Amino acid sequence: MALVDRLVAAGLREIEVTSFVSPKWIPQLADGEAVARAVARPTGVRMSALVPNAQGYARFRASALPVAAIFLSASETHNRKNVNCSVDESLTRSKQVIDAARADGVSVRAYVSTVCGCPYEGAVKSSAVVGLVRALCELGVAEISLGDTIGVGHPNQIRKLVGEVAAEVPLERIALHLHDTYGRALANVQAGFDAGIRRFDASLGGLGGCPYAPGASGNVATEDVVDLFESAGVSTGIDLDALVDTSAWLEAEVLGRPLPGRVYRARRGKREREARS
């Protein structure tokens, strides 16, 4: 809860606070309900939680959060590894959640993983991604986040994919979720922005990864994305110094290990040099 409070204070207005996946598979998330109940919900901040299926949605609904986030993969093998069913079966499960959410007045966000490549199958056809986007829109999803789960995407690929998706759905409903495994996430953010995307998922200090994508690094660091846009004169409304302070707190007081975010490390280093001078 302290982390969410710090992110809100830094200016973040959309935060995924927990996940209602099965505690059997990810025990660290067994306290999802407690976290959702305890977190403060300031006006103007939209909070969401990950929901894998109807059982997860029942737990989510008890939390009274306003946005449910479903997820599925563009590649069959990753989808089976991640949620133990085919892509078509995932769509059926997703429809159950979407229908229930619509009846409850809850907005649904969808993550489509492995849009640039799969750790098991290799290349993923853009037509598979576009087909899933089309299907999810038909089911009633409000927003779709396209995820480069293993961080293999490159700017030309991102521009091409965004262009193909734009032919199916307005880009205001599309976000990008980019991992930094090969150090290209920030370049891909810029490519997505140039192609018309205005919503980007990010992770404080570059935390994250995927247990079913061996070797994948965390999401692009929030500080890196904020610095990229602010340096280019694109206002984000986010206090970069407050983000750096929060990452420093998270690194020292919670995790006890270094965070990989480039801007975070650079600004911490600058502060330390200035303190010594």
pLDDT tens figures, 82-94: 899 999 999 999 9
Nearest Cα to Cα of residue 177 among 204, 205, 144? 144
What integer pLDDT is reported at residue 211 of this predicted model?
63
% of the chain with per-residue pLDDT over 90: 85
Report DSSP state, residue 257: S
The answer to whether the beta carbons of residues 218 and 260 sit under 8 Å apart is: yes
- Give the global pTM: 0.95
Instruction: Indicate the pLDDT class of residue 208, thresholds 50, 70 and 90.
Output: confident
Helices (H) and strands (E) in the chain, counts: 11, 7
Catalytic residue among 85, 118, 137, 210: 210
- Secondary structure letter of residue 205 according to DSSP: G
Number of domains in the chain: 1
Backbone CA torsion sign across 206, 155, 119, 15: positive
**How far from 1 is each of 6, 176, 195, 237, CA to CA, in Å?**
9, 26, 35, 22
CATH number at residue 208: 3.20.20.70
Residue bearing tokens 């922005």: 193
- Which range of 22-26, 156-160, 255-259 scores highest in mean pLDDT? It is 156-160
User: Who contacts 136 (Cβ-Cβ below 8 Å, separation ≥6)?
Assistant: 91, 94, 110, 112, 144
Distances (CA, A) of 204 to 140, 229, 250, 273: 30, 16, 9, 23
**Mean pLDDT along residues 57-79:** 95
Report the chain's mean pLDDT, rounded to a whole number: 94
126 vs 140: CA distance, rounded Å: 21
CA dihedral 150, 156, 158, 160 (to 10 degrees): -130
pLDDT value of residue 23 = 81
Amino acid 21: pLDDT: 87
The region of weakest confidence among 31-35, 211-215, 232-236, 245-249 is: 211-215
Domain region containing 166: 2-276
116 annotated active-site: no
Residue 235, pLDDT > 90, answer: yes
